[in-house]
Amino acid sequence: MLKDLRSIVFIIGILLFPLSIIMTIPAVTNLLFGYEWRGFIISSAITLFFSIVFSLLGKLSKLNSVKDFAVTSCVWFILPLFAAIPFLFETSISYIDAIFETISGITTTGATILSHLHEKSPGILLWRAILSGIGGLGIITIGIIIFPSLKFAGLRNLLASESSEVAKKKLPNIVHKVAHITIVYCIFIFLCILLYYFAGMSIFDAICHGISTVSTGGFANYDDSLAHYNSIKIEIIAVTFMLLGACPFLTYLKMTKRLYFYDEQILYFIGIIIVSVFITFIWIHFSSICLNNKIDRDFTLFRYTIFSIVSLTTSAGFTICDYGNWCFIVVFAFFLTLIGGCSGSTSGGIKIFRIVVLIKAVKAYFHDVVNQNETSVVKLNGKILEDEEIKSIFIYFFLYISIFTIATIAMSFISKADFITSLSAISAALTNSGPGFGAIIGPSGNYATFSSPTKLLLSLVMLIGRLEILPVFAFLSSVFYKFSKDKTS
């Protein structure tokens, strides 16, 4: 057990090193803009110190599946503790609040406890965006570049938390694919930054929002998010890159080899968005509850509808209007955030491919009940899925709903908030979608008013949602099994 722990400590120490280096980027930014920069340097020094200590105390050993899960979980749980340090120097918030803000960024959730963002230093705004970028693909990429040992241990399950398809490949192939995915990821960010700049953003705002858009992190530099710009061009760019970020990055690699590539989950994903936009627009149009300006009402409503539906479905969390006033559509949008984007993307939620498989499996079951002489198979992208794969998806769905229910009840007791607020907050945290619904945590609010225990609960739920549950449960189950075995022996 001690040997396993030393191996995990060593890997954490190695991964803290690049984090300490990255902290110097906002320091330079603050220096250039004339703001206090020493806080980031001190944070970097503290992180570097623990990186050296952990590396010396730990010792790399060959990892097994249990340690793989441990590394996957510990990286996401430990690194935010250090990434939160700059907030203590740059803002007046508590360490608990700093952890919440950091985990929200690194899980690409985009929920915030900060207000008056335009008054914050450029360094801290950039740091929030960087956390979103790290949360999307950065930690995996850094792990491969800085620590080559991950190519034979640990990487498989680290990737499993981001892409169910990549994890099935052989490890050398995984490293090759992740390297190319990182290139695609960076190209998207660069293009998004460039287009934002030409659309009217300052170069600094374009950088921050470009990273947050592609990573579907949703952190903005202003309290009113992208509504601050009131620009159709910026909204079109945001919608485009939110969609790109929510699609499987492996598909982009395959498209470099051939122009056409068929992926069912992308078709369903786009289909869900189109249908959702149509339903939302028609409902609000005939309900006459949106705007009073009769001249541009339909056009403005169409803008709001497309942007809000895409932002919610991709779990980006950017806002340009208060969709909390859309009555029935709020319930509809709630389920869209639960569905989320595609597997192998930076978005959150249950993921499209799981929903598709669940529906097909249920359909196949009832078909077999009615036609007892026939046996149906479940296919995805023309390939037959094994029973174990289908079973694992049902287990995942059960765990997801169970955690959602338990966490909602727990938050109702801890926060003393009303049930709807608790339900919305847990949903936003678990799906990594950021803003919830209602006056407190809706598009016009934030999470600052919640108590520290509530923020810790939400932080835990965000991490579980980002890791897609299974690595955390597998690790905890293995630890519990070892503890029980040692106790009985």
Average pLDDT over residues 53-74: 74
Q: Concatenated DSSP letters for 308-356?
A: HHHHHHTT----SS-GGG-THHHHHHHHHHHH-S-TTSS--SS-HHHHH
Return mean pLDDT, the chain.
84
pLDDT in tens, 417-473: 888 899 999 999 999 998 888 788 988 888 999 999 999 999 999 999 988 876 667
Alpha-carbon span 320 to 305, nearest angstrom: 10
CA-based R_g, the chain, Å:
22
Cα four-point dihedral sign 446, 452, 457, 459 = positive
Q: Report pLDDT for 8.
A: 82
- Whole-model pTM: value is 0.89
Q: Report pLDDT for 372.
A: 75
**Contact partners, residue 480, CB within 8 Å, separation at least 6:** none
Alpha-carbon span 152 to 426, nearest angstrom: 36
Tell me the CA distances in angstroms from 459 to 100, 105, 119, one per residue in order. 6, 11, 25
Q: Report pLDDT for 152.
A: 35
β-pair partners for 383: 380
pLDDT-derived band at 158 (thresholds 50, 70, 90) equals: very low
- Cβ neighbours of 391 (radius 10 Å): 11
Alpha-carbon span 155 to 174, nearest angstrom: 8
Question: Do residues 155 and 63 touch, judged by C-beta distance below 8 A?
Answer: no
Alpha-carbon span 447 to 426, nearest angstrom: 12
pLDDT-derived band at 218 (thresholds 50, 70, 90) equals: very high
pLDDT-derived band at 121 (thresholds 50, 70, 90) equals: very high
**pLDDT over 90 (residue 212):** yes
Q: Concatenated DSSP letters for 215-269?
A: TT----SSTTGGGGT--HHHHHHHHHHHHHHTS-HHHHHHHTT-S----HHHHHH
**pLDDT over 60 (residue 153):** no
Q: Report pLDDT for 485.
A: 61
Alpha-carbon span 336 to 333, nearest angstrom: 5
**Contact partners, residue 124, CB within 8 Å, separation at least 6:** 26, 86, 87, 90, 91
Average pLDDT over residues 359-381: 84
Query: Which has the closest alpha carbon to 101: 76, 83, 120, 123?
Result: 83
Cα four-point dihedral sign 108, 110, 111, 117 = positive
- Say what angle helices 2-22 and 139-146 make with each other, to 10 degrees: 110
Q: Report pLDDT for 290.
A: 47
Helix, strand, coil abundance in the chain, percent, nearest 5 = 70, 0, 30
Alpha-carbon span 301 to 307, nearest angstrom: 10
Q: Report pLDDT for 166.
A: 44
Domain ranges of the chain: 264-488
Residues above pLDDT 70, as percent of the chain = 82
Q: Report pLDDT for 407.
A: 96
pLDDT in tens, 65-78: 556 666 777 888 89
More confident residue, 147 or 194: 194
pLDDT in tens, 272-287: 999 999 999 988 887 7
Phi, psi of 383 (to 5 degrees): -105, 140
Average pLDDT over residues 340-348: 87
Tokens of 90: 């740059």
**Contact partners, residue 401, CB within 8 Å, separation at least 6:** none
Query: Which has the closest alpha carbon to 276: 305, 311, 236, 240?
Result: 305
Q: Report pLDDT for 163.
A: 44
**pLDDT over 70 (residue 295):** no
Average pLDDT over residues 28-47: 96
Average pLDDT over residues 166-186: 70
**Contact partners, residue 436, CB within 8 Å, separation at least 6:** 111, 421, 424, 425, 427, 428, 442
More confident residue, 479 or 98: 98
Report helix, strand or coil for 468: coil
Alpha-carbon span 198 to 180, nearest angstrom: 27
